[in-house]
Amino acid sequence: MSEKLEKARTYEAKEEQKIAEELRPLFHLTPRCGWMNDPNGFSIYKGKYHLFYQYYPYETVWGPMHWGHAESEDLITWKYLPCAIAPDEEYDGAGCFSGSAIEMEDGKQLLVYTGVRKEEDEDGHIREIQTQCVAVGDGINYEKYGNNPVIEADALPEGAGRFDFRDPKVWKENGKYYIVVGNKTEDKDGQILQFESEDGIKWTFDKVVIKNNHRFGVMWECPDYFPLDGKQLLLTSPQDMLPEELEFHNGNGTLCVIGSLNENGDFCEENCQAIDYGIDYYAPQTILTADGRRVMIGWMQNWDTCGIRRDDFPWFGQMSIPREISLHNNKLIQKPVREIENYYGKRISRQNVLISDSASLSSIEGRCIDMTVNVRSKDADLSYKKFEIRFADNGKAYSTIEYDPEQNIVKIDRKHSGSRRAIVHQRRCRVEGNKGEITLRLILDRYSMELFINGGEQVMSMGIYTDIKAEGISFKAVGELLMDVTMYELEKKN
């Protein structure tokens, strides 16, 4: 074990003990200490779920990237494992960037990641050189391959850039290993490259999977590529996006490209959409569970909102709740993993409640809940103009979900949640017109909100850092509507 890795493991084990349980979410994974960003190596190894993550243990800001590590038996409760890899070699001394993991035939776990080193050019400019590297281990300890990097600039196709070449996602198919890697071309456009290998160690270039053609942002990060419900999906996170209506927003976003493979195995696009329409979601990665579900997890943060933080927190960054994904009418459907139901506590239900101004319902409150609300017009004609859910409310701080049935727009808003920063606090998305009827499922943890609209047709996520004693929930209508609400309190299981 290198000195850097041993230092990180000693430090995180000590610092973890200082973090009070109530300072963490109940069931969203946070870093063991310090900083977290992208999920890495989301995989199944020896029957357990493993999740690695971009990690800087020493401060709650981005630093030289390590790989944090946790495991779970049910995707909800996570157990920390020791830091997996540290930037301790010449080829990755500036950071062990994002990547993925897979169980090999010999029972070992293979990690594929981007190693970063800095190089000074002839003009004195410092550039980051990004290459692909591997490490092999037993689920706790990993040894980097002696001949890393395994993919360098000389393996890139014509026009591919050598400075932005990162985030390999690995899978095995027909006895071969494959990875897709994000790349920025020399003319500053995103593309996804595919490489193949017989053993997971020695790789050769296979094909360009897809080119951005200057449509969605610039660099395409953190790709994932897999079959789903008879189609082929590519997930990626474009940087520096321009807005398009209410589908895509400025900055760093998420993109799902739905398509199919032709007779030559080439990817043919059919539909493009956002993955998450909220404020905080990036770099999702998926696994295929033993029972055949495709499950996705993402970093519930946005690079442009990292200024929203609690100074008293010894961690920064959290993962989303894992989501089961499927396709319906060639569009992405997302639902919280069904394992969340094993954490249900008290159930409270109210049916056919008439809302005609502002209303609080007895026992409908809390900061760790799974609540489904269905609202509909009281009459055949539209009987209301706006519906609002206010939550994490203590009379001064609160956050809201609003639905405009005339415009068919849902808005999330955290500007009153306690933040002192003028950063992104609102997002809107357009939903299917349902004559004033909508179903909103709200997963609320201590420091986050994830909203699943109309059975998961769209999802909106955001972090909130309001004091956890703010538990009030209320409903408001402009006009009159009928509402059903079912709420489960969420509890940790011993």
Q: What is the Cα 170 distance to its own chain's centre?
A: 18
Same domain for 231 and 304? yes
Which CATH number characterizes residue 58's domain?
A: 2.115.10.20
Q: Mapping DSSP to helix (H, G, I), strand (E, B) and coil, where does residue 197 land? A: strand
The answer to pTM > 0.75 is yes
Same domain for 296 and 361? no
* Last-in-domain residue among 288, 304, 336: 336
- Per-residue pLDDT, 350: 96
| CA dihedral (416, 34, 368, 296) positive or negative | positive
Percent of the chain with pLDDT over 70: 100
Q: Tell me if the bond preceding 227 is cis, omega within 30° of 0.
A: no
Same domain for 285 and 427? no
pLDDT digits (tens, 9 = 90+) for 76-114: 999 999 999 999 999 999 999 999 999 999 999 999 999
pLDDT digits (tens, 9 = 90+) for 273-287: 999 999 999 999 999
| Bridge partners (DSSP) listed for residue 146 | none
Banded model confidence at residue 416, pLDDT cuts 50, 70, 90: very high
Which CATH number characterizes residue 394's domain?
A: 2.60.120.560
* Last-in-domain residue among 336, 366, 395: 336
Same domain for 300 and 432? no
Q: Is 445 a catalytic residue?
A: no
Say if residues 365 and 471 touch (Cβ distance below 8 Å): yes
- Per-residue pLDDT, 459: 98
Banded model confidence at residue 308, pLDDT cuts 50, 70, 90: confident
Exposure class string for 145-173: b at 16+ Cβ within 10 A, else e: beebbbbbeebbeeebbbbbbbbbbbeee
The answer on pLDDT for 484 being more than 80 is: yes
Same domain for 345 and 385? yes
Banded model confidence at residue 260, pLDDT cuts 50, 70, 90: very high
pLDDT digits (tens, 9 = 90+) for 287-296: 999 999 999 9
Say if residues 16 and 102 touch (Cβ distance below 8 Å): no
Say if residues 170 and 100 touch (Cβ distance below 8 Å): yes
Dist. CA 213–CA 204, nearest whole Å: 24
Say if residues 224 and 167 touch (Cβ distance below 8 Å): no
pLDDT digits (tens, 9 = 90+) for 454-471: 999 999 999 999 999 999
- Per-residue pLDDT, 228: 98
The answer on pLDDT for 245 being more than 80 is: yes
DSSP string, 120-178: E-TTS-EEEEEEEEEEEESSS-EEE-TT--SB-GGGSPTTEEEEEEEEEEEEEETTEEE
92 φ/ψ angles, rounded to the nearest 5 degrees = -135, 20
Q: Pairing between strand 369-377 and 481-490?
A: antiparallel
Say if residues 286 and 235 touch (Cβ distance below 8 Å): yes
pLDDT digits (tens, 9 = 90+) for 177-231: 999 999 999 999 999 999 999 999 999 999 999 999 999 999 999 999 999 999 9
Range 314-327 average pLDDT: 97
Say if residues 70 and 83 touch (Cβ distance below 8 Å): no
253 lies in which domain range? 3-336
The answer on pLDDT for 494 being more than 70 is: no
* Last-in-domain residue among 336, 359, 383: 336
Same domain for 331 and 377? no
Dist. CA 375–CA 386, nearest whole Å: 11
Same domain for 99 and 210? yes
Same domain for 246 and 381? no
Same domain for 319 and 401? no
Q: Cβ of 127: how many Cβ atoms within 10 Å?
A: 12
- Per-residue pLDDT, 124: 81
Top-confidence residue, 313 or 387: 387
Say if residues 60 and 318 touch (Cβ distance below 8 Å): no
- Per-residue pLDDT, 309: 84
- For 42, the token pair is 């989301």
Top-confidence residue, 119 or 134: 134
- Per-residue pLDDT, 487: 98
Q: Pairing between strand 315-316 and 34-45?
A: parallel
User: Would you put residue 378 in left (φ > 0), alpha (ψ -120 to 50) or beta?
Assistant: alpha
How many domains does one find in the chain? 2
Same domain for 348 and 315? no
Half-sphere exposure of 443 (CA within 13 A, CB side): 29
> Exactly one of 38, 164, 189, 224 is catalytic; which is it?
38
Same domain for 347 and 309? no
Q: Which of 143, 119, 142, 147 is nearest to 132 (CA)?
A: 147
Top-confidence residue, 438 or 433: 438
Same domain for 101 and 219? yes
